[in-house]
Homo-oligomer: A and B are copies of this chain.
Amino acid sequence: MIRIKFKTLEEVIEKTFLNEGIKPNKAKLLAKIMAESSLDGFQSHGINRVPMMVEYIRKDFIKPKNEMFQIGGSNLYKQFDGNFGIGPINAWECTTEAMQAANENGLGLVTLRNNNHWQRAGTYGWKAANEGFILICWTNTIPNLPPYGSKKNLVGNNPFVIAIPRKGGNIVLDMAMSQFSYGKIASYARRNKELPEFGGYDGNNNLTKDAQIIREKGRHLPIGFWKGSSLSFVLDIVAAILSGGNTTRIIGEKGVDTGLSQIFIAIDPSKFGNREFQENLIFQTIEQFKSVSVEEGSDIRYPGEATLRRRKENLEKGIPLEEEIWEKVNGYL
């Protein structure tokens, strides 16, 4: 493990994407997004994804010259087609569009079809919350989770975000539908450690905490069994029908995680009441979390708290990266 300064990482990623033919302003924004995910500790959607993005550009799944275009809407809701361009850039712009509508009207809804993977869902939640907006957003994915009772993966590990602006640190729920992220499962498998709770099924259809077996079998556990897979199902359907895009089923037929459907709902809380009153309501709830006795070694955290802590630490000390991935990305330069 080495520690790399945020600015250094950002520059290396930017150069990598420039080399792949991405325009300067887009390469800059994309590098910021990817490097910030690494800064926040989400390597699986940060630097670790850079090689796959490069591969997808070279295979023409990601078409960096393609621009997103509007296909419908009003001043309140807008429908875009991502045109198989750069996923995080399109999602970033849709977040901005939703916030603009919310700024004018209190709330705004943006749909995006035919987008590529937007990488870390929380990126858009943090962006909106940083600018004072509540954001509810989600994407569908390839089918990679089994509905309860199914031996086959039919629903997606759709991330669902609810972000709330807060002076003392934004609240950002960035929650995919599987009990553990693939990054976490991989990390436990590498360290040969048992998961803290059941994370998927083994070959005999039994729940297991064995990360390696879950990786091999590819049957991750949806949160709350039937509840998580049902939530995944409705998020998929709403995203597809409102955007006029693909469902998880159709994405699965293609076999590549591209042509995704995404939803962005922004709300301006300042139009709904006094911001200080709102901040105070949140503060009191968080204070209460901190005041109760917990299990030894445990800590009740609000969503986003650990991210902020990692960000501060990594900004100061540098971002801990595996040497292998750092060398690999530098190899593109």
Chain A residues at the B interface, C-beta cutoff of 8 Å:
72-74, 76-77, 79, 105-107, 109, 111, 134, 147-152, 154, 162, 164, 171, 173, 175, 179, 197, 205, 223-225, 227-228, 230-231, 233-238, 240-244, 247-250, 265, 267, 269, 271-273, 277-278, 281-282, 284-285, 288-289, 292-295, 298-300, 302-303
**Main SS of chain A's interface residues?**
mixed
**Can you name 29 A-B pairs with beta carbons within 8 Å?**
A74-B105, A76-B76, A77-B105, A77-B272, A111-B272, A147-B289, A149-B294, A149-B299, A150-B294, A151-B292, A152-B292, A162-B231, A162-B235, A164-B234, A171-B237, A173-B234, A175-B224, A175-B231, A179-B224, A230-B302, A233-B285, A234-B303, A237-B285, A240-B281, A241-B269, A244-B273, A247-B284, A249-B284, A250-B284
Q: Which residue of B lies closest to A271 (CB)?
A: B77
List residues of chain B with CB within 8 A of the CB of A289.
147, 150, 154
Are B171 and A77 in contact, with the CB atoms below 8 A?
no
Are A302 and B233 in contact, with the CB atoms below 8 A?
yes
Q: Which residue of B lies closest to A248 (CB)?
A: B285
Are A281 and B237 in contact, with the CB atoms below 8 A?
yes
- Kindly provide the distance from the CB of A232 to the nearest chain B CB, expressed in whole angstroms: 10
List residues of chain B with CB within 8 A of the CB of A179.
224-225, 227
Give the contacting residue for A267; candidates B109, B154, B223, B282; CB below 8 A. B109
Are B107 and A77 in contact, with the CB atoms below 8 A?
yes
List residues of chain B with CB within 8 A of the CB of A233.
171, 173, 285, 302-303
List residues of chain B with CB within 8 A of the CB of A288.
154, 249
A77 to B241, CA, bound (A): 23
Q: Which residue of B lies closest to A113 (CB)?
A: B273
Give the contacting residue for A265; candidates B111, B231, B265; CB below 8 A. B265
A231 to B72, CA, bound (A): 31
